Structure formats: C-alpha cells, structure tokens
Amino acid sequence: MSTGFSMSVWLLTNATIALTFALFTVAILRRVLRPVFAPTGIYACWALLPLSLLSVFLPHKPTSVQMAEPATNPGSDSVATVLSQNTTSMTLSDSTMLWLWATGAICTLAFMVFAQYRYQRQLGKLTAHQAYWCASRTGISPALTGVLRPRIIVPADFTEHYNSSEQTLILAHEQQHLKHGDHWWNLLALLLHTVFWFHPLLPMAKRWFRSDQEIACDAAVVVRHPQHTAAYIATMLKTTLQGQAVPLACTWQSHHPLKERVMRIQQARQHRYRRPLASILIATGFAACAALSWASQTTAPLTQAVADQTPSSGKVRYMISNTVVLNGNRYQPKIMLADGDTGSIRIEDKQSQWEIVMKVSAVPDSGNPGKVQASLVVNKDGKQVVKVPKLISSLNKTMTIEHSSDPKTDDVRIESLVAQAS
C-alpha cells in the first residue's frame, strides 16, 4: 500500500510539473503565432497539454538496486540506535495528500456534472429536424452539445430570429465544431480540470482554450464562405450574449470576446501558406516542453526491485525486505543474499548517491535455526555515515536502524525484515 500511495503522489506531482510547462508553452506560442498564423494553428497548440503528460511516462533515471562486490568498512564507527518494531503501512503525508486531492476532484466533477445537467434541463423538450434539434425554449444560444451523441441545438425561435442565410452560417459554425471533434476536446478539458483542480493557471487557460476554439471555428466558416464574411459578423452581433459556459457544449455565443473574434475573422484568410511552419513550431514546443518537464521530475519511488545473487550450492538464501527513509524520501528495495555473502543496495536521488552494504548469515551454534546475524554499512557519496558491525535478530522480525548526525543532510532510517527464501 505504501508503494502504491507513493507512486500515485509521484505521478500526480510530475504530471503537474509537465502540465505547468505545457501551459506556459501554450501561452508563449499563442502570443508569438497570433500575428502571423491562422486561428486553427493557434487552437492546435492546446494539444500540447495532453501530449505533455506523456513525458511523465518517459524513461527516467530511476532509483536502482544493484549487487556489488563485498565492501570494506573504512573509518570509525558511527553511533546508531538499534530498535525492533513493525513497519508502517504508509506515510501520513502521502495518504493525506491523496485524500485531499480525491476530495477536490470529486467536488469539481460534481459541480461540472450539475452545470451540464442544469443546461440540459434549460433546453426543455427537443424536437428533431433535418440538420439540428430545436429546443422548446427561447433565449438559449445555438450549440453543439453531447459527446457520444453530439447534437446541434437551436432555440425555439431559431427560424423567426434568423433569416435563411444567417441560419446557414450558424449551422456551419456548429458543424465545424463537430468536424474538429471539439466535443471530445471539451471532454478532455473537463477531465484535466477534474484531475488538476488545484492548479492556479487552469481557470485562465480554460477561458483561453474556449476562446481559441470559437475563433478557430469562425475562421473555418469564413474560409468556406468567404463571400459571407460581413454577414457572418453581423450574425454574431445580432445574437444576444447570454448564458454561461457549459462543460460539454460548444455554444455559438456565451462569454467569448466578441471583439477579438471579429478581428480574427478578418485575418482568417491570411498566411495560409504558413501552416507547415506552424506545425513545426508546435512540434518544437512540445519537444521543449517534454524535455523540461522530464528534467524537472522528482525521483521515482522504488518498486519492489529485487537484487538477486546466485548463491553457492547448498547455501541458505535470505530475502531481505527493506524500508529505507533517507532525508524524508522513502524507498522499499528488496535484496536476496546467500548465507554469509555480501551485497549492496544503491539509491540515487537528486542530492546524493547512497549505498547500503548488507551481510546476513545464520548465527553459529545458537541452537536456534531461526536466529540470524547481520552487518550493515551506509555510505553517502562514497563516505561512510553508518556502520553496524553486528545485529542479531530472528527471522521474520523487523530490525530498525536510525542514524542522524545532521537531520538535513544524512538522516537515515532503515527497517529490515529477514526471511528465508524458498
């Protein structure tokens, strides 16, 4: 359970780092690309957010467990306190963080589900037409709503409020949302908001995303209907600003900046030949974002890695399960040793390189086959910080070693449970 909690916190932490780099990258690209590239290229930048999260799963420099040659123990002995107690199942900090995150995620998701439900109730009874569904109420904005069964929804007075040309342009706009798969992108945005509800940049990013989404659709409609650009702008001005943003709906009009949409419509047909360059810049932004997020990742918790040493014929083998806490960082390596042999566990974090040299053997002539004796040396960056020449314990009983000459630099706690391997 401890490893699972630690791994979950590690994934969430590094995913947050990756998302942060992606948000800053998108903010820069939006500003740099806007004067020269079409709105569809700007909208494509938002693909960096989900793609950047893949950097969390790139191969990283993990904590390693390796076998080493028998080590000598130079220097004087350090003071160590030897205790015997049961191992804890998980750290309080990891479990608390996950419970807080889960509570926030559930509340965020519940709020969005309620907002979507309220919007669906406002539509009233829907009547199917050839290209759209008509709501039973007026005062709503035309929209593409739904995910698995997306529908274009229009208000009850759609045919009375708009002429045939305006109707065509509005429907073309919503059809572009459907063509671009914006209902799926909105679902992904909802999931990101749910998972990273605590991120301070997401509310602003969400507004930018919805604005770029609408502007990209505006540009696509203008490119398909260049002779109706003025009529398209007039149709937007004719529509009353109303309603609130809906999690899973692409609304014709809500809170989107109308002035910016009009200005970008006038630029929609400019610089179309630069789309390949825009793709290259976006790909470069993704590569840079992934590299920075990967370089900033924290060290992954060690997951039940076993260092196995082939024992000499006839020797008893021992499996040593360890819980190692080094300056607040928790690891759980395992090592298998033959009776009387020496092996080492190497742990690398961002600050230091640690080596734990262990030796286990049966206590001779003790009359108790369940008794074992162990020796342990802890080296930090090649310098010995702990030396325990002899510990006697029983099989399947935890031995705990604590050492701290300086809690900020070499605080060490090791819990080892020795069991005879089958």
For residue range 321-340, list pLDDT tens digits in order.
Answer: 888 888 778 888 888 888 88
- pLDDT at residue 91 tops 50: no
* 299 in Cβ contact with 329 (< 8 Å): yes
Residue 256's pLDDT is: 52
Tokens of 115: 């907002």
Residue 343 included in any domain: yes
Averaged over 87-96, what is the pLDDT?
53
- Provide the domain limits for residue 389: 306-420
155 compared with 370, residue with greater pLDDT? 155
Residue 79's pLDDT is: 29
**pLDDT range class, residue 268, cuts 50, 70, 90:** low
* 250 in Cβ contact with 177 (< 8 Å): yes
- pLDDT at residue 355 tops 80: yes
Averaged over 195-204, what is the pLDDT?
93
Same domain, 340 and 259: no
Same domain, 247 and 386: no
- pLDDT at residue 57 tops 60: yes
Same domain, 267 and 338: no
Residue 201 included in any domain: yes
139 compared with 178, residue with greater pLDDT? 178
- pLDDT at residue 76 tops 60: no
Same domain, 352 and 404: yes
> What does residue 413 show for φ and ψ, rounded to 5 degrees?
-140, 125
Average pLDDT, the chain: 76
351 compared with 112, residue with greater pLDDT? 112
Averaged over 239-264, what is the pLDDT?
59
Alpha carbons 223 and 217: distance in angstroms, whole number: 10
Alpha carbons 398 and 416: distance in angstroms, whole number: 5
Same domain, 413 and 359: yes
Averaged over 278-307, what is the pLDDT?
62
Q: In the chain, pLDDT over 70 holds for what percent of residues? A: 72
- pLDDT at residue 372 tops 90: no
Same domain, 260 and 324: no
Same domain, 259 and 137: yes
pTM: predicted TM-score of the whole model, two decimal places: 0.63
Alpha carbons 255 and 252: distance in angstroms, whole number: 10
